[in-house]
Structure 1
Amino acid sequence: MQLYNKLSAKERAALIEEAGEDRLTLSFYAYAKIGNPHLFRNHLFLAWDAMEVLGRIYVAHEGINAQLSVPAKRFAEFKDFLDGIYFLKDVRLNIAIEHDLKSFLKLKVKVRKKIVADGLNDASFDVTNKGVHVNAEKFNALLDDPNTILVDMRNHYESEIGHFKGAITPDVDTFRDSLPIIEEDLKEHKEDKNLVMYCTGGIRCEKASAYYKHKGFKNVFQLEGGIIEYARQVDNLQLDNKFIGKNFVFDHRRSERITDEVISSCHQCGKPCDVHVNCANEACHLLFIQCEECSKAMDTCCSTACKEVNALPYEEQKALRKGIPNSNKIFKKGRSEVLKYKL
């Protein structure tokens, strides 16, 4: 019984290219009590591998968080499968604005302690007492209300390339970092303001809204479906689009363009740019913003030192990395001291 990938990302990419068939990039999440996450994980892998579904999926006792690439011709089959699971029946699917055949190249279904690393003790508050879900039209109306405080629940490298106008964008590296900071900064407005939150697809707000209600915030709202669904609704309903720039996504595309505005800069030269890359030096792999000119000049590396390493034969690079753990710069997301125009 095959429960893991047998093909490399390179082999899978070649097969996708050869097939030339449309694929849909989508995401969904659901909080539910899963008694045996490992058994559920294996059930998902077997079914989705047979459907040629690819993606990154986290399963925990508290639920599922999934980002996927599904063959378009098998979408109905995929949806039927979800509907056959009681807590996933009619689950909202956030279908990407921009599709890419290679948004995911492997099927990874992993069992985790939590589906989002929030650092919270769920037993200390009622996680089901969530904020009010609002659609794009209601969200826009709330933003026009002077009593509204809008908070971006994403990390700095996400909001740097795109966010809602007037939003508070915490300068944090992780979701868990943002929770206490926002609570402290807004503690004077627990009763007199609307606390409105948004994130990429809604999952972070789902837990955060319950947490802030527990902390005494009276009027808590969250954008249903996150930025992904908001962009779809404003387009379909011809609403005023209050988002500017790009929406960061966690697959090979790295972002979806929502509006034409470029609100960030190349971290190496300072020119307007909103294209994230990973440093080509595998021992670094730093995520940062790099324009086309700097990419050519630096061979898609974040520094001269990394460029020199990347120019070495592969076997020499591999020998240099042997026995050395991954650089912690991988998790710095654009904060490295080598970047002149970092956030």
Structure 2
Amino acid sequence: MPVLHNRISNEELKARMLAESEPRITISFYKYFTIDDPKATRDALYQALTALKVFGRVYLAHEGINAQISVPQSRVESLRQTLYGFHPALDGLRLNIALDDDGKSFWVLRMKVRERIVADGIEDPNFDPSNVGEYLTADGVNAMLDDPDALFIDMRNHYEYEVGHFERALEIPADTFREQLPKAVEMMEPHREKKIVMYCTGGIRCEKASAWMRHNGFKQVYHIEGGIIEYARRAREQGLPVRFVGKNFVFDERLGERITEDVIAHCHQCGTPCDSHTNCKNDGCHLLFIQCPRCAEQYQGCCSELCRDELQLSPEEQRQRRAKRENGMKIFNKSRGRLNTLTGIPDPD
């Protein structure tokens, strides 16, 4: 039986990736389709992608596949053909090519079987995820943004919305996608006659969200084909005005793709304009937050004085201190107006 997981340390794998001479391309893709045996599919696909030197994260479930990966530049076409031929449902699969990419987004291939490729909390047996809203391409998105009868709904988390979003898009104030779905229905209830446009990073969340809205009786539901990534790419290629403002948060080492030069967020420590996410250098915290260069120097890459001071302790002292507290949220979260219990950083007004 072949080895279907890595046995080399992350440090060595990252060093190997950084030493590569050939550029890598960061790609994301997803597809909702029925997978009868996700584990067997995972194992077969793992071997196929490993042969192409693919790195990244791939999740499989009975409902489909979701992936964020990187591949050597010379093997992009081989990857495309491998996926097209792997399963009939993947033939013609759209690959979202990263916009602001240095190719250093991943250094290992991790593939996991999950209950859902997007945790949605939906238990209604009558829900049909294939009954999605109407796709919008870049020109259609811009037209909708000029339509007073259209509402744009951002189906991403607060930390994503905070650094960039479409003009006049509404944020759903919830911490998770499973909480956003019923909240979106509730918020849009007074606007059933409106056109509802849903969007997310690469399309996977807003596609399911559009099906959920239709399941709940909304008629004029749209979602952006390929999400923000594909919209920005097509708008630039076609010479259209780019109506997404700021940075697009991405879930890899980059933590963001620059769409426009606008900086609409602020440092979570001093309030200066900034949209650079980072993780707290204290491994006992690892909070995701926005930090400007001045605060990064002052706090040594940490989110608070507490974490900065803890980082200077011996490993044993750090373990003792962490054992005495609960490990709270891993992101700076504004949607519920709460103080982060680990760092003591309050939410800004």
Taking structure 2 as the reference length, the TM-score comes to 0.93
1:267 aligns with 2:271: no
Q: Which residue of 2 aligns with 1:131?
A: 133
Select 2:150's aligned residue among 148, 151, 156.
148
In structure 1, C-alpha distance between the alignment counterparts of 2:331 and 2:241, rounded to whole Å? 35
* Counterpart residue number, 1:201: 202
Cα distance between partner residues in 1 of 2:221 and 2:102: 35
State the distance in 1 between where 2:42 and 2:317 align.
38
SS at match of 1:124: coil
CA deviations on 1:6-30 (whole Å, 9 max, x unpaired) are 2222212211222221000010000
Hey, what's the Cα distance between the residues in 2 that align with 1:333 and 1:187?
26
Q: Is the 8 Å Cα contact of residues 265 and 275 (structure 2) preserved in structure 1? A: yes
8 Å contact from structure 1 (residues 268, 294) kept in 2: yes
Q: For 1:136 and 1:186, locate their aligned partners in 2 and report how far apart those are by CA, in whole Å.
A: 24
CA contact (8 A) 2:195 2:222 kept: yes
CA distance in 1, matches of 2:234, 2:69: 21
1:327 and 2:333 are equivalent in the alignment: no
Counterparts in 2 of 1:225 and 1:288: CA distance versus 1, 3 Å: same
TM superposition shift of 1:318:
4.5
Q: Aligned partners of 1:29 and 1:324: how far apart in 2?
A: 41
Say if 2:31 and 2:65, in contact at 8 Å, map to a contact too: yes
Describe the shift of the 1:73–1:320 C-alpha distance in structure 2 as closer, same or farther (beyond 3 A): farther
- Deviation of 1:80 (Å): 1.3
Residue 345 of structure 2 corresponds to 339
CA deviation after TM superposition for structure 1 residue 162, in Å: 0.2
One-letter amino acid matched to 1:183: V
Matches for 1:30-45 after TM superposition, within 5 Å: 30-45=31-46
Distance 1:135 1:285 in 2: 37
Q: Which amino acid aligns with 1:113?
A: E
The alpha carbon displacement at 1:331 in A equals 4.8
Structure 1, unmatched stretches of 5+, are: none
CA–CA separation in structure 1 for the residues paired with 2:278 and 2:163: 13
Q: Is the CA contact 1:266–1:341 (under 8 Å) kept in the aligned structure 2?
A: no
1:114 matched to 2:120? The reply is: no
TM-score scaled by length of structure 1: 0.95
Give aligned-pair identity as a percent. 48
Map 1:1-343 to 2 at 5 A.
Answer: 1-85=2-86, 86-121=88-123, 123-190=125-192, 192-318=193-319, 320-321=321-322, 327-331=327-331, 333=333, 336-337=339-340, 338-340=344-346, 342=348
Aligned-residue offset at 1:326: 7.3
Between the aligned partners of 2:47 and 2:313, the Cα distance in structure 1 is 41
Secondary structure in structure 2 of the residue aligned to 1:123: coil
What is the aligned residue count?
341
